[in-house]
Structure 1
């Protein structure tokens, strides 16, 4: 069946995998397996009747089956005060100390943090 299937990997990054050391492994694997990729593609919306996904820039990608990963956002729990959260519901913190914004005795770690780091296991591993 693989010779009858066209697979396109669309990403908003400038290359298939954001970290160059990993991309040096991933990009050749995609090519070897005949998987195409489109970079700088940020999905905006899908027209299910036309079976087209549109980027924020208006570029359309036709599909028979779309597999979409939603944006990573903070967990929907109550924080007091709520102004410690950013617009994606991550806790704002000092990047050097991990102290929660506005507190001397509260810290945030891991996926709850709004710090500008990747929130994946592979990042922790690397």
Structure 2
């Protein structure tokens, strides 16, 4: 019987540059991105209304987030010619596909985040007494 326990160099099997999951997380992990997507969940919304719905977001961050989501193909901007122009944002069909996984993550948070907080408190209590 031959031994298969020879030492082989370890090759990374998880790569931030190749992993599709990390690329998607790069898009949606920004706190403003998730909130903007949630604000668009029920359909098109104007910029000012979106800014009022999302607590704490600055105009600069809202603009940057919308531009990035538009670039990623998740949000579309519709301009109605008038004076002043009416600008509304909505999810694209691709953006709508993110709603279900985000809802599931939101549900996981509601179900489990108190356990995360408890674990953190236990950890902090254990390791700050050293």
- What TM-score, normalized to structure 2? 0.22
Which structure has more helix as a fraction of its residues? 2
Which gives a bigger RCO, structure 1 or 2 (Cα 8 Å, sep 6+)? 2
The structure having more radius of gyration, on CA atoms, is 2
- What TM-score, normalized to structure 1? 0.23
